Structure 1
Amino acid sequence: NIDTDAKFRNERGIDPLSIESGLKKAALLIKEICGGEISKIDIQKIDTYKNKTIKFDPNSFEQITGFKISTKEMLKILEDLGFKIKKDKKYLNLTIPSWRPDISQEVDIVEELVRISGYEKISIISPIKERIKSTLTQSQKLFHFLQRAIASKGYLEAITWSFTDSNYNNHFKDTNKEIKIVNPISSELGVLRNSIFSNLIMYISKNLDRGFKDLSIFEIGPIFKGSNPGEQSTVVCGLSAGKRNRLSWIDKERDIDVFDAKRDVVQTLVEAGYNSDKFFIDSETPNYYHPGKSGRLFLNEGKDLVAAYFGEIHPNILKKIDIKTETLVGFEIFIDNLKLPKKTLNDQKTKFVVSDYQKSERDFAFIVDKNVSSQDLKNAISSVDHNLISNIKIFDVYEGANIPENQKSIAISVTIQSFEKTLNDSDLEKINKLIIETVENKTGAIIRA
């Protein structure tokens, strides 16, 4: 671009007719101060300037600004600003001054009138703050709730790439195919992840090498099952390494185990509004979990879709990665498999009621077949009377001497409490017999002498 005097004037909106009048005024000043005669001024023009006009409706002023001024006041303001005015029935035909190139439409006239009459006359109206529709959808609310719920249990959130190192991904792809990236940002991030574990275990290993002995991290994001659009799902994935209560003077330290991961998963789903009484848990898990120290969770006994996996990471994987920790447990919650509750979280909250009457705790030991799970016993006992049985806790599972082969002993503590009266010995005895009969009929168990 060439910088010229004309460009300097025109790009700043200088009056195009000011050159001729300016020359005449300058010449008169020189004659007055210095004397002499003014010669004929020769002005070369490419084009003759044509005045612009706007058809203005005075009624539009009130429609735009919200307040009213008289037509007489409008005329005075516009004449003082240099506009030439001709009335045409309900409209005003305005000739725009040459020094106002910024005015090109009707709303610019309204702005000039408001500027002179006073902006303070415009009344301030606050926007309506009522929400007819929620900002987030149900699935988006669930996403953010699970994010906060996991963080509240002591996990630190990690944000990693959706692609990962194939050396780590191979340990966690299970039966899925490896999805290679055609143009990766680096050779170490050459595949789309089949599991978030492949990223989390990489970074938890780095933090353990830096001296962070006890660490829990999680991420919520996509995993990929194929290269086609839609072949992905959203998962909440967490890893915990090290010990609980390390160097504590009040609690005994122990390794983190599968029950810690199970508690975090179950508690999170309960907080999200799902009924724990309907949960079904078995031991079928992907090959990257420790067999016998892991489980999968369904929202009901129908086993429609897997809601979550939890358990210890397989020891062979820990050896291959050479991760420096006593134990490593993890979980995966599949958000896309969680059926959205019809009620909101606020509507699902129930009133907390405490009984004023004394509770009674009774212990039972049942001998069952090895294929019968502890959950089966709990479900059988809870079906006896929901109003009286307030808590069921398994405190021992035993296999060995004095127990028949292919069977095991499960010891259960049951808390019995009424909201209506103090239960006497006769009432408790009836409930005890009913519990034993129900468990024996539903599971084939035998009460241990």
Structure 2
Amino acid sequence: MQFSESWLRTFCNPAIGTAELAETLTMAGLEVEELKPVAPPFTHIVVGEIRQAEQHPNADRLRVCKVDVGQAELLNIVCGAPNARVGIRVPCALVGAELPPGEDGKPFLIKVGKLRGVESQGMLCSARELKLSEDHGGLLELALDAPLGQNIREHLDLDDTLFTLKLTPNLAHCLSVYGVAREVSALTGAPLLAPAFPAVAVGNSDSVKVTVSATDLCGRFSGRVVRNLNTRAQTPQWMVDRLARCGQRSVTALVDISNYVMFELGRPSHIFDLEKIHGGLDVRWGKAGEELKLLNGNTVTVDDKVGVIADDVQVESLAGIMGGDATAVSDDTQHVYVEAAFWWPKAIAGRSRRFNFSTDAGHRFERGVDPELTVEHIERITQLIIDICGTPDTTCGPIDDQKPNMPVAAPVTLRVARAAKIIGMPLSQAQCADALKRLGLSLTEEEGLITVAPPSYRFDLQIEEDLIEEVARMVGYNNLPDTPPLAPITARIRPEAQRSAFAVRRALAALAYQETINFSFVEERWENELAGNPNPIKLLNPIASQMSVMRSSLLGSLLQVLKFNQARKATRVRVFELGRVFLRDASVKSTDATVEGFDQPMRVAGLASGSEHPLQWGVKDAPVDFYSVKGDVETLLAPLAPEFKPGTHPAMHPGRCASVWLDGKCIGYVGELHPKWRQSYELPTAPLLFELDLEPVLARRVPVFKPVAKIQAVQRDVAVVVADSVTHAALMAAIWAAPTAGLLRDAQLFDVYRPKFAKDAVVAEGAGDRSLAVRLTLNSDEASLTEEQIESTVKAVVDQLSQTLDARQRV
């Protein structure tokens, strides 16, 4: 909302300066977003009249003008403007005048000079040269009655300020100069000059038959016929200036009048060319397939969700938004129909955005416009039409006013104690009542209660909190006390047996993975193929068709990141994400942090593709493989020792996928991407992936102090032949289960041997066996181990392997 300070002060003129007025409005919730002078600084520019204009003797495009600026002698000024002619009054910069700064930022000083041999004693100015507009078509022509010699700043009221307000949607009553003035009066106590609406004399009985078929669209419809107008009349300069300072350019007199009343009083209206209306008007909802060419030149197709005004032949305008081209007024218009209506806000809200444009009228109607003053505002519009476009034959018809469905405002009660609690400062009932009375609200009082009957222009006053806000605005937000919060703040101390999510991020970053952050809603195809989820959680209003479901796995997002990088010639990609997934779970109940029926656990997932190491001379180039990523998972979980078992996952290669187990519970998977998905997603190589539940990853063992051994440890190697199906985990479990009396301190598998020929001694008793070599570390805290203790411990381990895994010692 933009307007000039001078226009505002015609309604309410408080004894405060511009800056204080802006601060007062801002502290009352009407944020002043910008203060801008109407014109830049310049001096010694006055009103002058061209008395003579002769051709320059040495230049075809210059004229030598004799200019009267109210002094004893005429000034001799050389001018090249195409409209320089005798009789017009224009701004004249005298010798010594400073014009607004140019592109270099320096003011332009007017001196006596010669142009092609003729002396020039000043300069005649265009609007662009004074930085009043971008119009550079010629001199700025002033009114013929402009006082000669008067300072141009005073004549054009250029010492004015433009206010730009940033209004919230509930302040629709301030979308007019008078509405803001009403607020200023309430805030400062300055008197408010209420506009008068004297009735225009009725000179004919003509009317247009109007039928309001949709009362849920239109609650009131008023209109009148005005005949015999001169629509070619010029809009007065004062109206053009006020409209320009509201950001509205002048169009034609009738359009300017309609716009002027909208900015003045907040009443959008429409003026029809009476002779272009076929029969009567019907206010109704549109019908599917109906088309309308609008005033902006666009042709739109309406449906039954959009309100229209139609005549007996066609749709003539979009209700409350924009008129149609078919009934638009023109220079040939003689008779008009003036309309002012009340449109229900919900019937207008969002309609213009369906057609990808917005209008000032729609902006106001969808927030609420006063339904009680349609007749008064038509009187105001009519009087302006007569004053500007009237002729001796101009006559006005009676106002046809229909009220099929007027809004009824329900009273709202304010509890004084509640207001004091919400605002956070002591308030008396008299203070609250005074604040509401200053706003022009009628109220009744009881002990501790104030009941307000909202006026017709205050659609926002519906509940008690609305009245509390009004009291706070009148008190002034800057006057509210600074009250520190009383809620205790207790730091959440993370247990020592748990690390933070940031520690997990740092651990993966140390393994050369880069973190990515992706959307939680993904393509449905990813869920079906990569997560094996045939029934994903679908979004009711997705932002894009490829983001229609909530993810139950992080792998699809990582594959998309891989494709994005490979499309940009990235040969080595190692990325991870720590994020939330969304699963259906009927056991979950609603709490502050959960939603009934849906589990939302955190997971961490990673992807590696390309070379295992960056290109360098010291290491032979080799592609990343399953064991590299498996090692990364082990490093991430350390010092916990996970167990890996053959597993199956919809996204991973059968036989090259392992499930990850901790404390007897599966916490995730690691493996190579399935070949069919690699082909489907057009990846040159199969990446390695892992996905783990975050909660067990955050767990860590609390370190336990152990003294350094005083006695040297003993190491012995044991090689056993076992079936090929025996896993490393089973081997280690059997070794640690042996009765070693605490002498076994460590066991490491260091060799795996598979025979190449069937006659090899290793497989003398069974083809498909393999040899596993384990290094045992033995020690005692009491004394050095004897050979007998060593041999018995090794024997206990071998016997345990034999009993548990049917192993035999290799000799």
TM-score by length of 2: 0.36
Bigger share in helix: 1
Aligned CA-pair RMSD: 4.2
Among 770, 776, 799, the residue aligned to 1:409: 770
What residue in structure 2 maps to residue 300 of structure 1? 663
The 2-side partners of 1:371 and 1:157 are apart by: 38
- Structure 1 letter corresponding to 2:8: D
Deviation of 1:256 after TM superposition, in Å, equals 1.5
The 1-side partners of 2:785 and 2:567 are apart by: 58
Is 1:350 the counterpart of 2:704? The answer is yes
Q: Deviations over 1:217-253 (max 9, x none)?
A: 0001122333974233321110011122354333333
What residue in structure 1 maps to residue 564 of structure 2? 206
* SS state at 1:9 partner: coil
Instruction: Verify the 8 A CA contact 2:527 2:534 in the aligned structure 1.
Output: no
Instruction: Verify the 8 A CA contact 2:513 2:574 in the aligned structure 1.
Output: yes
Following superposition of structure 1 onto structure 2, how do residues 43-442 of structure 1 map, counting pairs within 5 Å? 133-134=491-492, 142-174=500-532, 176-226=534-584, 229-271=597-639, 275-276=640-641, 279-301=642-664, 305-325=665-685, 327-336=686-695, 338=696, 348-351=702-705, 354-355=708-709, 358-384=712-738, 385=740, 388-396=744-752, 398=754, 401=757, 402=760, 403=763, 407-418=768-779, 420=781, 423=785, 425-442=787-804
Instruction: Verify the 8 A CA contact 1:176 1:194 in the aligned structure 2.
Output: no
Instruction: Verify the 8 A CA contact 2:720 2:810 in the aligned structure 1.
Output: yes
The 1-side partners of 2:632 and 2:697 are apart by: 19
Change in Cα spacing, 1:134 to 1:307, as seen in structure 2 (3 Å) is same
- Structure 2 letter corresponding to 1:373: T
What residue in structure 1 maps to residue 9 of structure 2? 4
Instruction: Verify the 8 A CA contact 1:280 1:299 in the aligned structure 2.
Output: yes
Instruction: Verify the 8 A CA contact 2:718 2:776 in the aligned structure 1.
Output: no
Query: Would you say how many aligned residue pairs link Structure 1 and Structure 2?
Result: 335
* Bigger shift: residues 362-371 or 212-221: 362-371
5+ long unaligned stretches in structure 1: 17-103, 112-129
Change in Cα spacing, 1:245 to 1:383, as seen in structure 2 (3 Å) is same
Instruction: Verify the 8 A CA contact 1:382 1:389 in the aligned structure 2.
Output: no
5+ long unaligned stretches in structure 2: 25-186, 191-474, 483-487, 586-595
Change in Cα spacing, 1:151 to 1:196, as seen in structure 2 (3 Å) is same
Give the % identical residues: 21
Change in Cα spacing, 1:195 to 1:7, as seen in structure 2 (3 Å) is same
The 2-side partners of 1:436 and 1:8 are apart by: 102
Change in Cα spacing, 1:375 to 1:406, as seen in structure 2 (3 Å) is farther
The 2-side partners of 1:246 and 1:147 are apart by: 21
The 2-side partners of 1:419 and 1:245 are apart by: 42
Larger Rg: 2
Q: Deviations over 1:141-175 (max 9, x none)?
A: 54343333322322110001112233444331225
Change in Cα spacing, 1:410 to 1:167, as seen in structure 2 (3 Å) is farther
The 2-side partners of 1:157 and 1:269 are apart by: 18
* Bigger shift: residues 131-140 or 182-191: 131-140
- Structure 2 letter corresponding to 1:210: R
Change in Cα spacing, 1:412 to 1:291, as seen in structure 2 (3 Å) is farther
Instruction: Verify the 8 A CA contact 1:374 1:394 in the aligned structure 2.
Output: no
* SS state at 1:264 partner: helix
Deviation of 1:411 after TM superposition, in Å, equals 1.5
Change in Cα spacing, 1:242 to 1:340, as seen in structure 2 (3 Å) is closer
Q: Deviations over 1:272-301 (max 9, x none)?
A: xxx42xx44311221322222221122124
- Structure 2 letter corresponding to 1:363: D
* SS state at 1:187 partner: coil
Change in Cα spacing, 1:163 to 1:373, as seen in structure 2 (3 Å) is same
* SS state at 1:186 partner: coil
Deviation of 1:318 after TM superposition, in Å, equals 1.4
The 2-side partners of 1:307 and 1:199 are apart by: 20
- Structure 2 letter corresponding to 1:170: N
Instruction: Verify the 8 A CA contact 1:246 1:254 in the aligned structure 2.
Output: no
Change in Cα spacing, 1:189 to 1:395, as seen in structure 2 (3 Å) is farther
Change in Cα spacing, 1:182 to 1:399, as seen in structure 2 (3 Å) is farther
Q: Deviations over 1:176-222 (max 9, x none)?
A: 53444343222332332232111101111221232222221000112
- Structure 2 letter corresponding to 1:332: E
The 2-side partners of 1:238 and 1:254 are apart by: 19
* SS state at 1:244 partner: coil
Q: Deviations over 1:369-415 (max 9, x none)?
A: 34321111112223345653324124315366443557431423314
Instruction: Verify the 8 A CA contact 2:580 2:603 in the aligned structure 1.
Output: yes
The 2-side partners of 1:255 and 1:295 are apart by: 19
